[in-house]
Amino acid sequence: MRNVIAIARKDFKNYFITPVGYLVLTVFSGIMGWMFCSAVFDFLRRSQAAMRFGGIPDMNVNTMVIQPMLGNMSIVFLFMVSFITMRLIAEERKMNTLELLLTSPVRSSEIVLGKFLSSFAFFALMLAITLIYPLTLSIFGDPDFKQIAAGYLGVLLLGGTFLSLGLFISSKTENQITAVALTFGLFLFFWVMSWILSPSDSIGGQLISYISIIDHLANFIRGLIDTRDVIYYISFIFFGLFLTHQSLESLRWR
Amino acid sequence: MKRSVIYNLNTATLTLIVFGILAVVNFIGFRHHIRFDFTKQKSFSLAPQSIKVVKTLKDEVRVIGFYEAKEKSMFDNLLDRYKYHSKKLAVQFYDPDKDKVIAEKYKIKQYRTVVIEKGKRETRLEDITDENGEEKITNAIIKLEREATPHVCFLKGHGEKEIADREREGYSVAQDELKDEGYDVKNFSLLESGKMADCSVLVIAGPQKPFLPKEIELISDYFKKGGRGMILLDPADRETGLETFLSKIGIVALNETVIDPISTIFGQSAATPVVSEYTSHEVVRDLKEASFYPLTRPFKIQTELPNKNIKVEAIAKTTPNSWGEVGPLKQGKVKYDAGKDRKGPLNLAVAASGKWSGRKDEKEMRLVAVGDSDFSNNRSFEFSGNGNFFLNAVAWLVGDESLISIRPTKAAGISGRLMMTPRQVQLLFLLTIVVTPLVIIGSGIIVWLRRRRLA
| % residues pLDDT > 90 (chain B) | 18
CA distance B245 to B253: 10
Compute the nearest-CA separation of B235 from chain A (Å).
37
What's the average model confidence in pLDDT over B14-39? 88
Query: What ipTM was estimated for this complex?
Result: 0.80
**Residue B413 confidence (pLDDT):** 44
Whole-number Cα distances in Å, B172 to A9, B52, B155, B169, B371: 72, 29, 14, 9, 20
**Residue A53 confidence (pLDDT):** 63
What is the rounded average pLDDT for all residues in chain A?
A: 80
Helix A19-52, helix A67-94: angle, nearest 10? 170
B40 vs A contacts (CB less than 8 Å): 144, 146-147
Please name the residues in contact with B199: beta carbons below 8 A apart, sequence gap of 6 or more: B151, B152, B153, B188, B227
B22 vs A contacts (CB less than 8 Å): 235, 238-239
| Span A146-167, pLDDT tens digits | 888 999 999 999 999 988 988 8
CA distance A146 to B39: 6
What's the average model confidence in pLDDT over B257-279? 80
CA distance A163 to A161: 5
Query: Strand, helix or coil at B203?
Result: strand
Alpha-carbon A245 to chain mean position = 20
Question: Closest to A231 (Cβ–Cβ): which among B25, B92, B416?
Answer: B25
Q: Does A175 touch chain B (CB under 8 A)?
A: no
Residue closest to A69 by CA, chosen among A13, A118, A136, A15: A136
What's the average model confidence in pLDDT over B263-268? 70
Whether residue A40 and residue B416 make contact (CB cut-off 8 A), yes or no, is no
Residues across chain A = 254
Is the pLDDT reported for residue A202 higher than 60?
no
Compute the nearest-CA separation of B121 from chain A (Å).
25
CA angle B385, B386, B391 (to 5 degrees): 100
Contact criterion met (CB below 8 Å) for B171 and B163: yes
Residue closest to B125 by CA, chosen among B45, B180, B50: B180
**A122: number of Cβ within 10 Å:** 21
Contact criterion met (CB below 8 Å) for B41 and A63: no
**Residue B42 confidence (pLDDT):** 73
| Span B343-357, pLDDT tens digits | 878 899 999 998 888
Question: Closest to A147 (Cβ–Cβ): which among B29, B38, B93?
Answer: B38
**Residue B118 confidence (pLDDT):** 83
Query: Strand, helix or coil at B423?
Result: helix
| % residues pLDDT > 70 (chain B) | 92
Query: Strand, helix or coil at B366?
Result: strand
Q: The whole model's pTM is what?
A: 0.62
Compute the nearest-CA separation of B78 from chain A (Å).
13
- Pairs of CB atoms within 8 A across A/B: 157
Largest Cα span, chain A: 74
User: Which residue intervals of chain A are DSSP H helices?
Assistant: 2-17, 19-52, 61, 67-94, 97-103, 108-130, 132-140, 145-172, 176-196, 203-211, 215-222, 227-253
Question: Closest to B437 (Cβ–Cβ): which among A26, A146, A242?
Answer: A26
- φ, ψ for residue A203 (rounded to 5)? -60, -40
Compute the nearest-CA separation of A179 from chain B (Å).
22
**Residue B436 confidence (pLDDT):** 83
Whether residue B73 and residue A199 make contact (CB cut-off 8 A), yes or no, is yes
| Span A19-67, pLDDT tens digits | 778 888 888 888 888 888 888 888 777 777 766 665 455 566 666 778 8
| Span B1-16, pLDDT tens digits | 577 788 788 888 999 9
Compute the nearest-CA separation of A150 from chain B (Å).
7
CA distance B260 to B344: 9
| Span B360-416, pLDDT tens digits | 888 889 999 999 999 999 988 888 788 889 988 998 898 765 555 545 444 444 455
**Residue B404 confidence (pLDDT):** 52
DSSP A141: B
Conformation bin of residue A184: beta by default, left when phi > 0, alpha when psi is -120 to 50: alpha
**Residue B410 confidence (pLDDT):** 44
Whether residue B92 and residue A201 make contact (CB cut-off 8 A), yes or no, is yes
Interface of A with B in 194-233 (CB under 8 A): 198-199, 201, 210, 222-228, 231-232
**Residue B351 confidence (pLDDT):** 94
**Residue B411 confidence (pLDDT):** 42
| Span B220-260, pLDDT tens digits | 989 998 889 999 999 887 888 899 999 999 999 988 888 88
What's the average model confidence in pLDDT over A95-116? 80
Q: Does A59 touch chain B (CB under 8 A)?
A: yes
Specify which residues A240 forms β-bridges with.
none
CA distance A177 to B432: 31
Question: Please, how many CA atoms are within 13 Å of residue A131, restricted to the half-sphere of its CB?
Answer: 12
**Residue B412 confidence (pLDDT):** 43
Question: Closest to A144 (Cβ–Cβ): which among B7, B40, B94?
Answer: B40
Whole-number Cα distances in Å, A73 to A69, A151, A222: 6, 11, 15
**Residue A39 confidence (pLDDT):** 84
Specify which residues A88 forms β-bridges with.
none
| Span B125-156, pLDDT tens digits | 877 877 677 877 887 887 777 767 888 999 99
| Span B43-96, pLDDT tens digits | 778 877 788 788 888 888 888 888 887 788 788 888 888 888 888 888 888 888
Interface of A with B in 108-137 (CB under 8 A): 129, 132-133, 136-137
**Residue B414 confidence (pLDDT):** 46
Whether residue B416 and residue A37 make contact (CB cut-off 8 A), yes or no, is no
Instruction: Select, from the ranges A135-139, A214-218, B168-172, B321-325, the one with the highest average predicted confidence (pLDDT).
Output: B168-172
Is the pLDDT reported for residue B263 higher than 50?
yes
Compute the nearest-CA separation of B275 from chain A (Å).
28
**A121: number of Cβ within 10 Å:** 14
Q: Does A172 touch chain B (CB under 8 A)?
A: no
CA distance A99 to A103: 6
